[in-house]
Structure formats: structure tokens, C-alpha cells
Amino acid sequence: MGPSMTHYFPPMDPLDVVYLDHELLVVNKPPGLLSVPGRGALLADCLITRIQSEYPTALLVHRLDRDTSGAMVFALSANAQRHLGLQFEKRQIKKTYVARVWGQIEADTGTVDLPIIVDWPNRPKQMICHDTGRAAVTDWQVINRDRGETRVKLSPKTGRSHQLRIHMLALGHPILGDPFYGTLESQEAIRLMLHSHRLRLRHPDGGEMMDFRAKLPF
């Protein structure tokens, strides 16, 4: 069990619904709450369980890390789940994150193209491996620079576990508050400074392009 799972005290915030219709539910996930249940009763409380208590037909489409906040979409029918699942599989859904990272990034934009695989002895940690890793690509753009840190917009082109966290570390600028990756300095923040800010997808019923945003918490 990694350092971020040894103590699980999920926030008790009420559901923050960004959008709701007959096929889609978009919520703003709080940091510190698992997307799906972990192993054992102590890790049973999670976002999908809370959602299904209010919206019984809700189905999982994708996940966010426990410590990541922001926009997360759920399907309200099997048809919507299939439709959204295909969009994720074909990389048609545009995901935009905002992060605060340690240090000042010199360039204004860039792309990290480094393959990722699970670090088995230290799972759930991931690592870069050019031999056996799965392709992982992240576009990044500086929003602004402050004392000792940079705010960046991150656009993952793939959906590997811990991808954004690993790729920012590879740049030499770990995400502030990350308990797995980074330095003692960068880990001092009160939370993981990573937020799913925006989702662009096609509606399962009719194909209209939808754009959802979850308010920035930092």
C-alpha cells in the first residue's frame, strides 16, 4: 500500500453536479475521494457509490486518481456508456487539466512523449520504461509563473495511470503535493495540485459537441 493510501479520510462534500440530463452526469470530483472502491471495507467509500445512491442507473466511464479533483463524466444508460467508452478508446474526448508544478518551467509549451509502465515492486507507482512501457503523450502549456512554481495546462493524448504526474516529474517539475513523485519540497503542498478542468465530448444522444468545465479550486 503506497503512502497516499495508508490513511483514507474521504471528504464528505455533497455531490457537485456540473451537468445532468437523461444520458449524462458530469460531476466535480473532490480531491481525496476514490473514483471506485478500493480493496476492503476501509476503502469502500467512493464517488461511483455515492453517485449511484442518488442516480441508480449511473455507470462508470473513466476514472480520476484519488487525489485529483475536477470534471468526471458518468453514463446514465448502457447505450451512453458504450458511446462514451468508444470516444475515450478512440481518443476523441478532449481532456484538459490544470496543475501547479514545482519550479519555473523555462519554455512556454512542449510535449512529453515517454512510455509508462507500472513499477511492480512499488505499485501503484508507475515509471517510464522505453522497452516495455505503453505509449504516453502529454501536451503542456504554461499559464503563468510564480515564486518557485509554474501553473500549467496539461492535455493528455493518452490515458495512462499517473501519466501527468510521471510526465511532469520527467520534465523536472513534479506536481505540487504529489505524495508519490517529487521532492520533499514539492510534497509540502496541502493537496495534489492537479485538477480536471475541462471535458469536451460528443453527446451519446445525437452527437452534439459538449464542453464541460469544473471550477478551479486553486
**Contact between residue 189 and residue 217 where contact means Cβ atoms under 8 Å apart:** no
pLDDT for res 23: 98
Q: What are 64's three cell numbers?
A: 480520476
pLDDT for res 6: 58
64-96 tens-digit pLDDT: 999 999 999 999 999 999 999 999 999 999 999
Closest CA to 70 of 115, 32, 105, 121: 32
- Positions of the chain with pLDDT lower than 50, given as ranges: 1-4
pLDDT for res 3: 42
Domains and CATH numbers, the chain: 97-194 (3.30.2350.10)
pLDDT for res 43: 93
- Residue 131 is classified by DSSP as T
65 is catalytic: yes
Distance CA 204, CA 206 (A): 6
The model's pTM: 0.94
pLDDT for res 115: 98
**Contact between residue 173 and residue 103 where contact means Cβ atoms under 8 Å apart:** yes
**Contact between residue 66 and residue 177 where contact means Cβ atoms under 8 Å apart:** no
Exactly one of 21, 65, 113, 146 is catalytic; name it: 65
